[in-house]
Chains A and B, each alone.
Chain A
Amino acid sequence: MKTKLKLKEKLFSGNLGFTLFSIVIGFVVGAIVLLIAGFNPLEAYSVMISGVFSRPKYISWTIIYATPIIITGLSVAFAFRTGLFNIGAEGQYIIGSLVATAIGYFLKLPPVIHFIFVFITAALAAGLWGAIAGYLKAKFGVHEVIATIMLNWIALYLNNYFVMLEGFKRPQSETSYEIQNTASITILENWKYSDVGREWLSNYPILKDILAAPVNLGFLIAILLAILVWYILNKTTLGYELRAVGFNRHAAEYGGINVEKSMVISMFIAGALAGIAGALQVTGVTKSVAILAAMEGYGFDGIAVSLIGSNTAFGSIFSGLLFGMLKYGGPKIQPFLRAPSEVVNIVIGTIVFFVAIPKFIRMLGSLMNKKRGEKNVG
């Protein structure tokens, strides 16, 4: 009895409890919206679930959907933990994918080395893009939220400008040329479409199904990055400095930490992460970049991923996977039930909304305790 109470207390007071509670509320609100609109929410949710889990290929796709937003989530979480709000993951992602495509298409390098080169240059470019916001904050006191919003749009137009350039733009299209195969990280990309590959795979239907999606190394890299982010933040002097600046820049400055440098480094790392997300998406899935009429939302989704993951590295993996499920499974209710798939955004918005108000959940918790207390007295 006592341990049970303790567990409950822990859930109610801890971040994990708030988050789980918010996720439940998110789905309940989604159900209510569906119900009001005349759909059976249970049916809708079961379509989503089977749309994610019923075939190996679906699971592949879910992970592919989750990969970039796990990493943009890491980018936002890293900045958060160092006291910065990186709304600019969107633009950093764009820069990363643009540079990855350019390096992947124009350079001719051996396999693996080509990818590593693409990876590093994209991370560097996006890191520098992020560092601009850090520098503007450190030197001129420009709030990073505003600076990164501006930089997002500048990145979008830069992307559109470069994609349109002669020699990069694929004729009769709105996209660039595709990257060389040497830069790709899609698993068994050529083999699985070759005669040998097809024949071999026909004996292994599950494997064949898994590989029906552009399965790539991105997810593994995302997990490695999460470990790296966790390690840097918690185990290194750099992480100590960045967190100190994030919590209290005045105390950090007094302790001899170079606050301005820390802000730039922090935004550089956040930017590099978002850029890597873009690079992995290009080298693993899209192979090229297109003209953007509007923001694609990888960065904004990253904010929600980070928030739902309590701004921790490993939390981002789980919430990123949840997002992947919603994003991949959600649209499947459209053809099956003719139910609007945007209910997914309502669910996500509701989760973030409740994550923002732990005070509400705490009040709810203490209200319930009080009631129970009164009962015990009477």
Chain B
Amino acid sequence: MLDNILESLAFILGTTLMYSAPLIYTALGGVISENSGVVNIGLEGMMTIGAFFGATVGYYSGNPWLGFLVGGLAGGALALLHAIASVTFAADQVVSGIAINFLGPGLALFLSRMFFDGATMTRPIDLEDKIPRSLDKILTKGTFIEKVFNQYDTVYLAFILVAIIWFILYKTKLGLRIRAVGEHPKAADTLGINVYNIRYLCVFLSGVFAGFGGAAMSLAVVSNFRPTLISGQGFIALAAMIFGKWKPQGAMLACLLFGAAQGLVVFLGGTEFQVPSEILAMIPYVLTLIILMGFVGRATPPAADGVPYEKDSN
């Protein structure tokens, strides 16, 4: 009995970690972009293009890390478009993000058909060419710990990235400047900080992270790219970022919650348990709404989030 419970718990925790990782990368992308004052609703599109490039480069090169890296760069490249629109041309950032969400999946599927004989699905990567599980050799097989923590390396990398982003934002000169630009760009400008450069950097990085998120999906959680692979995870990551009050550590916790819900759905799918999985799948979204209603403290975005910065000298 106890063994069964432990077994189930290990399974749920393990799947939670696995499903959270892509969300964490992408949510971190949202954190860095919005802390600099650029709303990024295009995370979905950036994640999709990252997933495609990750799977494709991974398949052809046989090197998952190269795929992961290229996935990130592809996301970053798409993000540069968002930066051009929202930083240089003072576009409505939500509208520009919507455009990205058409372009990302459009480009991914277009290229998929080009590279894979008209298929919208990339060919699966061999098991040994997926992202490795480095802890596989260290942990003793069959233990609780092993079942929970024997994960793809991208999972651990996600948590390391959370720590790095946290450190950069709150402990470094660059972080202070990023947050200043997100709160009061004019103040930063008068102190000689280049608002545009900072925002370009942050939007680019947000694309890279979202691309990582997509690649972590297509190179680790599954082993290929397909049209419905991302479907909405970018938006979930966006919600997680807000849920986490625009902070990397908060976003991470929110992603774990969303991941846990997914983990539970998968787990219950394999049992005779009576709660319909659809209702369960709904819970994180309902929870997010409740949190946003302010029962657990108000979530306030950076003061200049979503506001284009235009120097008024012309």
Contacts and interface: CB of A to CB of B under 8 A. Distances in A.
A and B touch in the complex (CB under 8 A): yes
A308 to B, nearest CB: 11
Interface stretch (A42-50, A52-60, A136-144, A173-181): A136-144
Interface stretch (A116-124, A154-162, A202-210): A154-162
Interface stretch (A239-247, A251-259, A342-350): A342-350
Interface stretch (B163-171, B207-215, B234-242): B234-242
Contacts of A344: 106
A142 B106 contact: no
B102 A352 contact: yes
A16 interface: no
Nearest to B95: A356
Nearest to A363: B89
Given A149-B235, A157-B281, A340-B112, 19 more contacts: A142-B293, A145-B41, A150-B286, A150-B289, A151-B285, A152-B235, A153-B236, A160-B278, A164-B276, A293-B228, A304-B98, A340-B110, A345-B105, A346-B103, A346-B110, A348-B106, A353-B85, A355-B99, A357-B91
B238 A141 contact: no
A311 B242 CA distance: 27
A303 B103 contact: no
B279 A357 contact: no
Interface string A350-373: 101101110110000000000000
Interface in B84-123: 85, 89-92, 94-96, 98-107, 109-114, 118
The winner among A143, A146, A160, A300 for most chain B CB atoms within 10 A is: A146
A220 interface: no
Given A157-B282, A349-B100, A360-B89, A150 B81 contact: no
B91 A359 contact: yes
A307 interface: yes
A342 B109 contact: yes
A32 to B, nearest CB: 12
A294 interface: yes
Given A140-B292, A142-B293, A154 B102 contact: no
B299 to A, nearest CB: 9
Contacts of A304: 98, 102
B231 A294 contact: yes
Contacts of A136: 289, 292-293
B142 interface: no
Contact of A153 (B81, B228, B232): B232
Contacts of B114: 37, 340
A303 B98 contact: yes
19 contacts: A139-B293, A142-B292, A151-B289, A158-B278, A161-B278, A294-B228, A307-B95, A334-B118, A342-B113, A343-B110, A345-B105, A346-B107, A349-B106, A352-B95, A352-B99, A353-B85, A353-B99, A356-B91, A356-B96
A250 interface: no
B283 to A, nearest CB: 9
A161 B232 contact: no
Interface in B242-276: 242, 276
Nearest to A335: B118
B294 interface: yes
Contact of A157 (B81, B118, B278): B278
Contact of A353 (B81, B112, B286, B293): B81
B288 interface: yes
Interface string A268-300: 000000000000000000000000011100001
B109 A345 contact: yes
Contacts of A307: 95, 98
A187 B111 CA distance: 40
Given A37-B110, A157-B281, A157-B282, A356 B231 contact: no
A85 interface: yes
A168 to B, nearest CB: 14
A108 interface: no
Nearest to B39: A145
A213 interface: no
A157 B279 CA distance: 7
B89 A146 contact: no
Given A150-B288, A353-B96, A348 B109 contact: no
The winner among B85, B102, B239, B289 for most chain A CB atoms within 10 A is: B102
A132 B101 CA distance: 25
A147 interface: yes
A158 B282 CA distance: 8
A149 B279 contact: no
B217 to A, nearest CB: 14
A338 B113 CA distance: 9
